[in-house]
Structures are given as structure tokens and as C-alpha cells.
């Protein structure tokens, strides 16, 4: 909310500076988001007098003005305004000044061959209103050469964030009341004069939706003359971010900005029959003041007559019945609307307004008569006219909350000692009524005060939040224990490792469509179906992370992404045997598109294959602490994967740690994604936990004293045999001496029998205290050959 210092001081008697006001506002909970001085935007603009106005020699619609700036010789200015003439005073923008309306910096320039030393400005160009038919005309007493900002009288503008729980402060006057309670000044008495009507109101006001509109007041003013609102009103409204429209409309907006009370003015000639607050009919349409048409339903409250809807209640009026320049008779509406109904209607229509902001948070229900009296007075002062009697329908909420308050709570809850007399003064300054026994009557506008704790908050914020002592929470002595679990730490490591491997982290929904869940469900696995899903496409908890990642890769491809390398760490879900939920930590990854783009040295673009997924799965399993060198590669990845291009990584025949491979064409078709696509899923819950160390301190590392020995072996095996099985057997042949083994060649062809292949391994032996003898090396080699023979391998000659 924005307002000027001048406007604030209209209600608050104070000598406080801009800085002191800002500090006070922040202290009492109204955060100042910014302070702007409009004079800064008008720098370089001066009051000037037109001495002569001659026709431009080369343009019919331009004039060459001789302008007195009060300093030295007159300046030549080219101007196209129709009202520019000799003897008038206006506003001259000198070279170097920046036009507020468009940000253009003025410079000396030649216009049709005549040098122009600035620009005579219109109201719109200086953002002082909407008039742009001619340049500004100032009175005769305007001082030539003086700064226009000084002549106009500018005031700093505060931009204050009002929290949603304080709708009572959505106006300048209530802000002044809070500051007066804080002690920054004295709230000026604001006399609200009841204006007697001169005859009954000719408009019949009715309420048919008492739930949405409990109270509806109004009156007619005849013989008004619409036009521009007074300059002082326009200045305040422009500073508050409101565009002046006309005197009648500006008066209603001024009431809202000054007192937080929205109201509406109708052209009486455009109304027909009684004006009724009722529910809208399904499909009923209204063209609002923003020139957009809205379709209403029966949950919405409207103001209507025999011709139809004229106001989306509490949000925005219609274009049809709004006041125009030729309006002579008006009907004023001021009502109390249900905040919840206003909020629901605004969200349904996607329609925001200043009135909605105030009504949906809750306006003062006791301000109907006073608000109507102030609005009537404003209109009569600016537009004239004769008012009718006030007509009233319904009644607003009128039962105030009454709370029992113990002043000792301020110390117990607020942590600060405030004398009882000061507490009473603060509450009464905020319009709370405090009895001798500390029974407190809450003003109707304070919807946020529900109990004694809220009264403590009021006392403390006005007394001074900065006076509340900062007290550290108790903390146990010693080194703080880590709060992250081993599972959380493992997931952090995996995220870093996946990102370092070139994968992008994705976060997908935990619930997916039923057909996608069934496609990835294991045999005999019960799906966890939601009773109240967000939508039909999100009704089953995911049994795997891959459906969401595949869908994400498809979205990327549809938007032109050539490659997707995605991973996610989350939970997969199933129903346990007892019907409870079963959540299991999982890492999923999907590789789609091009692994390598086409190039002059690589030819066609290359896609991902199962080995890419396998390599990433092993890398991440190693980071998670799995014994990768002991894993077995076995079938059983699932029907979602392509047979022969997928497998599982197991620790023993039954413990599946991961599955990987190329997705089956049926899976690609089900998710409408072009292949090939490879994926992997790591079951983090299946990885055995690290064994606890017996000692807190790790022993110092000592490198072996003797050099390692390598021996190469080549074995003939069936071409269907997995080389990893042979490697595992060789590593376990003599664990006291064999420290590592790796495959360095696989060959099939000339010299190798058909149906067989040659697998060559390098075996690393580590001697202990003494070097190996020939006999020891032969014994170890015999063990290696024997272990390989058990796998059906034959030492190649």
C-alpha cells in the first residue's frame, strides 16, 4: 500500500521526518518496502512563460515558441500542442531531464530545421493524470524559473507491506492511528458529519443473499456535475498508484485508500427497478470495468436490477452502469460482504482488485454509515448535488468479541515487562475498550484478534519489539551430534555422484496413472491406490521411479531436447501384506536421445545402450557402499526391458541390488516415446549396511614392503558363459595372495573352437614378508586353474 507523507500528516499531528516515520512503521509491524520522492522524477522541469508563439516555417502543426525560463536569454522550443500560445505559463523540460511517462532523456535537437531546447510538457507526460490534448497551463502566479516540483508541492511516498491479518490497516487513517498509539504523534480528530437527506431514496434496496451480503446501504445524489477531481485528491491518488478517472469515481477510490472502505457509484439513469444483492444465475454474464466479460455461477454474490448484473459484489462493478462524464444523478452503494465468498469468487474468476483485497480479508462492519457519510460529503464538495435519505437493508455483524485479559501474560508470553497502565493506554489507543477488571472489548474491524495472546502481541509491538531481550535457547555441552541419518548421508553422496556423472536431477510426482503403474508393477505386487486422488492420472502411488522419468524424458524430447540424462532419488511404493504402505528408497535413471551428436569424425549420432546404464549403475552402487566387485550379473530385469539387452546386479542369487538395460518396445509404445531408451533402477534398501568398526580410530595405512606380481591366464569357455562369473571364481581362488584380477581380452575366431571363446585375465598377487618362490607361484596358479575349471573353463595352451 502506498501513501504520501503529506497524506499521513493530514490525519496525524507530527513533526517526524521521513526516516522517523519509516522506522516507526517497521517497529510496529508495517514493513516499509520502499520510499520514493516524486520530486526526483520531476528534476529538470521548470515553470516557464511563453513569450511568443510563431508558426513553424516548415510544418503546419508545429509552433516555434520563445520561452522565458527566468535565467538569461529566452530559449527556443518547438511545440505541437494546440493550446500553446504567447503569455501562458507551463512546464518546460530542459535538456538532460527524463520524461517520467516514457523514460526519454531530453536533448537539444533540430526539428524540421529549427533548434529546440527542451519540451513543453503535458499532464500525461509527467504522469500527473491522463490529459494529453495540450500542454500544462499554470496559473498567473506561478513563479517563472522555479522548479516545478517545488511549485506543485511533492511529498515522499511510502510503500508499506500490510500483512494479510491486518486488513484494518489497509488505509491511511488506520495507519495514522497505529502510529499515534506508538507515540509518533497525535491522531487528529476526524469529524464525520451526518448529512441529512432531502427526501426518501428513490431506489429500493433489497437483499436476497443474506449469507453473501449481510448489509447493503445506499442513497441517491441528484444534480451532480462530473468532471476532474480536485488537484489535491489526484496528487494523493497518483502517489498511491491509482489512476484518476473522474470526480465521482475518484471519490469512491479516495474513501477506499484513506479509510480502507470500498464503495461503488452507479449512474442512476442506467438502473431499472430495485437494486438487489442476490446470487448470480448459472451462465449469467457481466462486462466488468476492466472491459472483460465474466461468466458467473450460482455460488457468487452480485448486485443487480431488472436489467441484470451491475456489480460482481465486493470485487468490481460493470461497465454498463458506471458513472460517465454526462452523469447527473448517482446511486451510492456501500455494503458488507462475506469475506470467504469474495475470496472464492475472485479465485474462480481470476479477477483481482483493490476492493477484493480488502473485502476478502475483512473490512470494518461498523463503518457503513460513517463511510457513506464521508463519501456523500466528498461527492457534494467536488460535484455538488442534493442527497436523499439513506436506505438500509440488512445489518452487518455487530457482536464484538469480549476477552478476559491478564496483564501478566505480557511477561509470560512476550518476555517483556510492561506496566499495567502502559498496557491499558496502548490497547485504548488502538480502540480496544478496557474495563477495570481487564475485560477487553475488541473493535469489530480487528478480525485478527481472537484471544489473550493476540492482545499480548498488540501490546508488545506498540511498546517495542526491539525491547524484547534476545535469549539463546538452552544447548547441551559438548560437540553437537549429527542430525542426518546414514540413509540421508548416503542419498547426499549419491546425488553428488550422479551429478558428477553428467546426470540431471529430476523430481517427479509420487503418484501416477494406473496403467503406467500396472506396466511397472512386479508379478504379485499390490498397487497402492489413493481413495481421493488429485486426478484420474494421479491415482496410484508409483511402484517404480522409471515411469515418471520416462515421461519427463518424453516431455524434453517433445520440446526439442536431443538428449536427456535424468536421475531421481525417491521412494517407490507398494502395499504390504497387512495392507499398510511399504515405502522403499530407490534411485532411478533414464538415458534417452543421443549419447554423442553426429560429427565429422564420428559420423551418425550415437544412441545410448545397455552398457551405459550398467556403467552408471555400478558407479552409483560403489558410491552407495555396495561391494561392486562381488556382484553377479543375472537375468530377471523385468518385462519392461528388452530381453538380451538387460540384466540385474545381484549380491548372491536372490538379493537384487539393481536392474538395468534397454527398455522394451512395448514400454516405449506405452509411454509414447521414441527409442532407444535405456534405464537403470538401484534399490537402495537392498544394499547391505556398512559393518561397524570396532575402533573409533582407523589404523595407519602401511604400503606393502614387496612389489606385486602379475600373472596372465587365458581360458577357453563356452561362448554363452558370462565372463564375470569366471572373473569372480579366479578372484576367490586364493584370497590370501590374490588381491585383484581383471579381464583384458576376449577373443573368438581362428584357433578357437566353434561355440567357444577365449577369455584372458591378469591376476595380481601380493607377497607378504618374503618374495614368492617358483613353487609357491606354481601352487597359486594351480588354484586359479582349478577354480576356473569348476566354472567349465579350460586353460588355453
Peptide bond into 676 cis (omega under 30): yes
Residue stretches of the annotated binding site for Mg(2+): 448, 454, 457-458
Angle at 663 between CA 639 and CA 643, to 5 degrees: 55
The greatest distance separating any two alpha carbons of the chain, rounded to the nearest whole angstrom, comes to: 128
> What does 342-405 look like in DSSP terms, one character per residue?
HHHHHHHHT---HHHHHHHH---GGGHHHHHHHHHHHHHHHH--EE---EEEE-------EEE-
Give the whole-angstrom CA distance, residue 620 versus residue 488. 15
Q: How far apart are CA 590 and CA 671, in angstroms?
A: 13
Per-residue DSSP letters for 106-145? P--EEETTEEE-SEE-BTTTTTS-S--SSB--B-TTS-TT
Question: Which residues lie closer than 8 Å to 21 by C-beta, 6 or more apart?
Answer: 5, 8, 14, 158, 179, 184
CB 680 within 8 A of CB 617: yes
> Which among 120, 118, 122, 48 has a CA at the least distance from the CA of 89?
48
Q: Do 259 and 11 contact (CB within 8 A), yes or no?
A: no
Distance between CA 278 and CA 764 in Å, rounded? 90
Length of the chain: 797
Distance from C-alpha of 530 to C-alpha of 511, rounded to nearest angstrom:
9
CB atoms inside a 10 Å sphere around CB 503: 20
Under 8 Å between Cβ of 647 and 613: no
Those residues with Cβ within 8 angstroms of residue 7's Cβ, 6 or more apart along the chain or in another chain: 155, 172, 236, 239, 258
Of 17, 354, 11, give the one whose Cα is nearest residue 155.
17
Partnered with residue 318 across adjacent β-strands are 288
Annotated binding residues, written as ranges, equal 448, 454, 457-458
Cα distances from 38 to residues 32, 35, 97, 121, 247, in angstroms, run: 17, 10, 14, 16, 23
Amino acid at each position: 500500500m502506498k501513501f504520501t507523507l503529506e497524506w499521513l500528516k493530514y490525519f496525524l499531528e507530527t513533526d517526524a521526518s521521513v526516516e522517523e516515520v519509516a522506522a516507526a512503521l517497521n517497529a510496529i509491524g508495517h514493513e516499509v518496502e520502499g520510499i520514493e520522492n516524486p520530486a526526483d522524477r520531476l528534476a529538470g522541469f521548470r515553470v516557464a512563460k511563453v513569450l511568443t508563439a510563431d508558426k513553424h516555417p516548415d510544418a503546419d502543426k508545429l509552433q516555434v515558441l520563445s520561452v522565458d525560463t527566468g535565467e538569461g536569454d529566452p530559449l527556443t522550443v518547438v511545440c505541437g500542442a494546440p493550446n500553446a500560445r504567447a503569455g501562458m505559463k507551463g512546464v518546460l523540460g530542459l535538456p538532460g531531464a527524463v520524461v517520467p511517462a516514457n523514460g526519454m532523456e531530453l536533448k537539444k535537437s533540430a526539428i524540421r530545421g529549427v533548434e529546440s531546447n527542451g519540451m513543453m510538457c503535458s499532464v500525461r507526460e509527467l504522469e500527473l493524470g491522463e490529459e494529453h490534448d495540450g500542454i500544462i497551463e499554470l496559473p498567473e502566479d506561478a513563479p517563472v524559473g522555479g522548479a516545478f516540483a517545488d511549485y506543485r508541492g511533492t511529498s515522499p511516498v511510502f510503500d508499506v507491506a500490510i500483512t494479510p491479518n491486518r486488513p484494518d490497516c489497509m488505509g491511511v487513517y488506520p495507519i495514522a492511528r497505529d502510529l499515534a498509539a506508538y507515540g509518533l504523534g497525535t491522531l487528529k480528530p476526524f469529524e464525520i458529519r451526518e448529512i441529512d437527506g432531502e427526501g426518501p431514496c428513490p431506489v429500493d434496496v433489497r437483499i436476497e443473499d443474506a449469507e453473501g451480503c449481510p448489509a447493503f446501504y445506499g442513497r441517491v445524489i441528484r444534480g451532480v456535475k462530473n468532471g476532474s477531481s480536485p488537484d489535491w485528491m489526484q496528487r494523493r491518488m497518483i502517489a498511491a498508484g491509482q489512476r484518476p478517472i473522474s470526480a465521482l469515481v475518484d471519490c469512491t477510490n479516495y474513501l477506499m485508500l484513506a479509510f480502507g472502505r470500498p464503495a461503488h457509484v452507479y449512474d442512476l439513469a442506467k438502473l431499472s427497478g430495485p437494486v438487489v444483492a442476490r446470487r448470480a444465475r448459472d451462465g449469467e454474464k457481466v462486462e466488468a470495468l476492466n472491459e472483460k466479460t465474466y461468466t458467473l455461477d450460482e455460488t457468487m454474490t452480485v448486485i443487480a436490477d431488472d436489467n441484470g448484473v451491475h456489480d460482481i459484489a465486493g470485487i468490481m462493478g460493470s461497465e454498463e452502469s458506471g458513472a460517465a462524464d454526462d452523469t447527473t444523478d448517482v446511486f451510492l452503494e456501500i455494503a458488507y460482504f462475506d469475506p470467504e465468498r469474495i475470496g472464492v469468487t475472485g479465485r474462480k474468476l481470476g479477477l483481482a482488485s483493490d476492493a477484493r483485497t480488502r473485502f476478502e480479508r475483512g473490512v470494518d462492519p461498523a463503518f457503513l454509515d460513517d463511510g457513506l457519510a464521508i463519501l456523500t460529503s466528498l461527492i457534494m464538495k467536488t460535484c455538488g448535488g442534493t442527497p436523499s435519505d439513506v436506505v438500509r437493508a440488512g445489518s452487518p455483524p455487530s457482536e464484538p468479541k469480549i476477552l478476559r485479559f491478564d496483564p501478566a501474560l505480557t511477561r509470560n508470553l512476550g518476555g517483556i515487562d510492561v506496566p499495567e497502565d502502559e498496557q491499558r493506554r496502548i490497547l485504548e489507543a488502538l480502540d480496544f475498550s478496557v474495563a477495570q477488571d481487564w475485560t477487553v472489548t475488541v473493535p469489530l474491524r480487528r478480525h485478527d484478534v481472537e484471544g489473550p495472546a493476540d492482545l499480548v502481541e498488540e501490546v508488545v509491538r506498540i511498546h517495542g519489539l526491539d525491547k524484547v531481550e534476545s535469549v539463546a535457547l538452552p544447548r547441551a555441552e559438548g560437540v553437537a551430534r549429527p542430525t542426518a541419518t546414514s540413509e540421508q548421508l548416503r542419498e547426499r553422496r549419491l546425488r553428488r555422484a550422479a551429478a558428477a556423472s553428467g546426470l540431471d536431477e529430476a523430481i517427479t510426482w509420487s503418484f501416477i496413472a494406473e496403467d503406467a503403474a500396472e506396466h511397472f508393477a512386479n508379478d504379485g505386487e499390490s498397487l497402492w491406490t489413493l481413495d481421493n486422488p488429485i486426478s484420474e492420472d494421479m491415482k496410484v502411488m508409483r511402484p517404480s521411479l522409471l515411469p515418471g522419468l520416462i515421461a519427463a524424458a518424453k516431455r524434453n524430447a517433445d520440446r526439442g531436447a536431443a538428449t536427456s540424462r535424468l536421475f531421481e532419488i525417491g521412494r517407490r511404493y507398494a502395499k504390504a501384506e497387512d495392507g499398510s504402505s511399504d515405502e522403499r528408497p530407490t534411485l532411478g535413471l533414464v538415458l534417452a536421445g543421443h549419447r554423442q551428436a553426429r560429427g565429422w569424425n564420428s559420423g551418425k549420432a550415437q544412441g545410448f545402450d545397455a552398457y551405459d546404464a550398467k556403467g552408471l549403475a555400478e558407479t552409483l552402487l560403489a558410491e552407495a557402499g555396495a561391494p561392486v566387485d562381488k556382484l553377479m550379473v543375472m537375468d530377471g530385469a523385468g518385462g519392461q526391458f528388452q530381453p538380451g539387452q538387460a540384466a540385474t546386479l545381484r549380491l548372491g542369487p536372490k538379493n537384487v541390488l539393481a536392474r538395468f538395460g534397454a527398455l522394451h518396445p512395448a514400454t516405449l509404445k506405452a509411454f509414447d516415446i521414441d527409442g532407444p531408451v535405456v534405464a537403470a533402477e538401484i534399490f537402495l534398501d537392498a544394499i547391505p549396511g556398512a559393518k561397524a568398526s570396532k575402533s573409533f580410530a582407523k589404523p595407519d595405512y602401511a604400503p606393502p614392503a614387496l612389489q606385486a606380481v602379475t600373472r596372465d591366464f587365458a581360458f577357453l569357455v563356452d561362448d554363452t558363459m558370462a565372463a564375470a562369473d569366471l572373473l569372480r571364481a579366479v578372484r576367490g581362488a586364493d584370497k590370501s595372495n590374490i588381491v585383484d584380477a581383471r579381464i583384458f581380452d576376449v577373443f573368438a575366431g581362428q584357433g578357437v573352437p566353434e561355440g567357444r571363446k577365449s577369455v584372458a585375465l591378469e591376476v595380481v598377487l601380493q607377497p607378504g614378508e618374503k618374495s614368492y618362490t617358483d613353487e609357491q607361484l606354481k601352487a597359486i596358479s594351480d588354484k586359479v586353474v582349478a577354480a576356473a575349471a569348476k566354472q567349465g573353463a579350460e586353460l588355453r595352451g
